Structure 1
Amino acid sequence: MNYEDLIKNAISKNEVVQLLCGSGRYEIQNSEFVQDVFPTNIMSVLVNCFYKQKDNIFNICEIFSNALECMIQNDPKEIYIATLYFDTCVFKEETHSASFCINKEKFAKKLKVAINTYTKELNSPITFDNGMTKKFPMKNIENFNKNYISKYNFSIL
């Protein structure tokens, strides 16, 4: 798969959010060995469509950050997906393998508002565009939050 073409196409069609959500033609399949339910291959999309394009696409960090901000203003499904990307960014930054960094504290504050707005829905099953259903996404969010509190002194809940 040519990820550079994929992200350039998504940008030109104003479909970066759809790419991040794995909607339609933008779904990147996860390995059959992945234990959890995901809408797309979060790590692959982040690394190949964004991190590896830092030198090829002007403002790729801003494009990514803006798309995440749009997602947390939408429905619980997109809020959860944005949380998955946020957590992956935190991990990649922690391991010094991110080619750019997001403003974790700033985004965490906005994410916290979105999560608190949809707490009830995030405690219920969410079905992704690929038909897979995550039973209790809030449990993952709570686990992520424990890490953020202990390592970074911020909370998304």
Structure 2
Amino acid sequence: MNIKMKVIQAIDNNEFIDLLKGKGDYKIELHQWVSANVPTNVESILTKGIYPLYLDDQNKRVELKLEQSLITMIDGELFDIYCALSTIFCQLIEEGLGTAPFKINQDKILNKLRITLNSKEKELKNYFEWEGLGKPEGMWTEVLRMDSICKRRWGISLL
């Protein structure tokens, strides 16, 4: 099943968050030569799934489904927060490159993300899974990296 069809299936089955977390059949593998410790390929979900669906069928309102899911995930467990952060970061990159066919509501989403990241700093420093694996300050190191890039490239702070 191609990625766009997985997005449609996730919407139809009310499993959009599972898609963004790479749960079960929704996991999208990275290219075999890419070395990254991530639960799913968020860039492909966006560029090969969500964006084409948005362009083909705006009645699906996939952009709103994305925003609603991100808000829910930001309120979730550390893994949910990490998946939301990764998706938001990738979306900001696509927006910055001009390749995203829509923009997320940055005020609403980034304000909520900032509050959550700052309140969960200690927990994120002790979260040693995925991109936090092997880093002295766990996932917080990845948060700081993404924040630095966003500040440098687009003048946007994630913290």
If the length of structure 1 is used for normalisation, what is the TM-score? 0.88
Partner residue of 2:149?
Answer: 147
Q: Which moved more, 1:135-144 or 1:146-155?
A: 146-155
Instruction: Give SS of 1:29's match.
Output: coil
% same residue: 26
Q: Is this contact kept in 2: 1:90–1:104, CA < 8 A?
A: no
> Are 1:78 and 2:45 matched, yes or no?
no
Alignment partner, residue 111 of structure 1: 113
Aligned counterparts of 1:111 and 1:95: Cα–Cα separation in 2: 22
Matching residue of 1:66: 68
Letter in 2 for 1:49: G
Deviation at 1:23, TM superposition (A): 0.5
Amino acid at match of 2:96: E
Cα separation, 1, equivalents of 2:144 and 2:13: 35
Partner of 1:100, secondary structure, is coil
Deviates more, 1:33-42 or 1:1-10: 1-10
- For 1:4 and 1:154, the matched residues in 2 are separated by 29
Query: For the Cα contact (< 8 Å) 2:3–2:44, is it kept in 1?
Result: no
Alpha-carbon distance between aligned partners in 1 of 2:39 and 2:146, rounded to the nearest angstrom: 18
Q: Is the 8 A contact 2:131 2:142 kept in 1?
A: no
Using the TM superposition, give the Cα deviation of residue 64 of structure 1 relative to its aligned residue in structure 2, in angstroms.
0.8
Going from structure 1 to structure 2, the CA distance change for 1:83 and 1:133 (only over 3 Å counts) comes to closer
> Distance between the aligned counterparts of 2:40 and 2:132, measured in 1?
13
Secondary structure of 1:44 counterpart = helix
Q: 1:56 matched to which residue of 2?
A: 57
Question: What secondary structure does 2:99 align onto?
Answer: coil
Match for 1:102 among 84, 101, 104? 104
The structural deviation recorded for 1:109 is 0.8
Instruction: Give the CA deviation at 1:108.
Output: 1.1
Partner of 1:90: 92
Is the Cα–Cα contact under 8 Å of residues 72 and 78 in structure 1 kept in the other structure?
Answer: yes
Structure showing greater relative contact order (alpha-carbon pairs closer than 8 Å, 6 or more residues apart): 1
Q: Count how many residue pairs are aligned between Structure 1 and Structure 2.
A: 153
Deviation of the 1:133 alpha carbon: 6.8
Root mean square deviation of aligned Cα:
1.8
Contact conserved, 2:132 with 2:142, CA < 8 A, in 1? Answer: no
Shift of 1:57: 4.8
Structure that is richer in helix per residue = 2
Contact conserved, 1:105 with 1:154, CA < 8 A, in 2? Answer: no
Change (3 A) 1:133 1:94: closer
- Asked if the contact 1:29–1:41 (Cα under 8 Å) also holds between the matched residues in 2, the reply is yes
1:10-31 per-position Cα deviation (integer Å, ceiling 9, x unaligned): 1121100000000011101112
Secondary structure of 1:28's match? coil
Q: TM-score w.r.t. structure 2 length?
A: 0.87
